[in-house]
Structure 1
Amino acid sequence: MSNLAQQTCEPCSGNATPMTEKEADDALKALPQWKITDRDGIMKLTRSYDFDDFVGALAFTQRVGDIAEEAGHHPMITTEYGKATVTWWSHEIGGLHQNDFILAARTDEVAE
């Protein structure tokens, strides 16, 4: 388990401040296969995973759903034949928080 994946997610209220672009870029160094995207003015953390078939992508989607439910923090997941794309961001604050990077690291672990 990576050091980042072992960290504890902190409760994130609507009063929390989203990461700045520099903070997010610095945090991204621990997750080289992820990228920061800007959708509708909101920074989000995104990665796609390839699978041999739909069944593999669907099983991965369920594993990500399990870690999301456990953390009480839910990503956008697009599941298609041979591919799943996961996007993390903190909805309440309209941007990225350390929790998103922790859960992205956990997502990488369930993909292995």
Structure 2
Amino acid sequence: MSGFGEQYCEACNADAPRATDAEKQALSKEITGWDILEVDGEEQLRKKFKFKNFVEALAFTNKVGELAEAEGHHPAILVEYGKATVSWWTHTIGGLHKNDFIMAARTDSAYR
């Protein structure tokens, strides 16, 4: 796990600022293969992970769930046969925060 992925999420409330374009650009360099998408007016990080079967995808999902629960920061996860799609964003601010990039890096580490 890189130093970035070893960081922990900071407490975030509804008044926390969203990541600026410059911050998103810099933080995106710390993660690979994640797309920034706008969904229902909110920016999200999204990545698809491939597996041999449903059981492996589900096991990965459970690892991500444990990471999320430990941080109190939860993604949307779609589990399908042979893949899992993970989306991170900060619900309370309706967009991206540094926490989302940290959790994306930690998700990548769980995939290895």
Q: What TM-score do you get using the length of structure 2 for normalisation? A: 0.96
Q: Match for residue 109 of structure 2? A: 109
Q: Secondary structure at the match of 1:8?
A: coil
* Unaligned runs of at least 5 residues, structure 2: none
Q: How far is 1:25 from its partner?
A: 2.1
Q: Secondary structure at the match of 1:94?
A: coil
Q: Secondary structure at the match of 2:11?
A: coil
CA root-mean-square deviation: 0.9
Q: Secondary structure at the match of 1:32?
A: coil
Q: Match for residue 28 of structure 2? A: 28
* 1:88 is aligned to 2:92: no
Q: CA separation in 2, counterparts of 1:2 and 1:22?
A: 21
State how 1:9-20 maps to structure 2 within 5 Å: 9-20=9-20
Greater shift in the superposed pair: 98-107 or 19-28: 19-28
* Unaligned runs of at least 5 residues, structure 1: none
Q: What TM-score do you get using the length of structure 1 for normalisation? A: 0.96
Q: Deviations over 1:44-92 (max 9, x none)?
A: 0010000000000000000000000000000000000000000000000
Q: CA separation in 2, counterparts of 1:91 and 1:52?
A: 31
Q: How far is 1:2 from its partner?
A: 0.8
Identity of aligned residues (%): 50
For the 8 Å contact 2:8–2:71, the answer to whether it is kept is no
Q: Match for residue 53 of structure 1? A: 53
Q: Give, as a single letter, the amino acid of the residue that structure 2 aligns with 1:103.
A: M
Q: Deviations over 1:8-57 (max 9, x none)?
A: 21000111011123321221111121111111221100100000000000
Q: Secondary structure at the match of 1:93?
A: coil
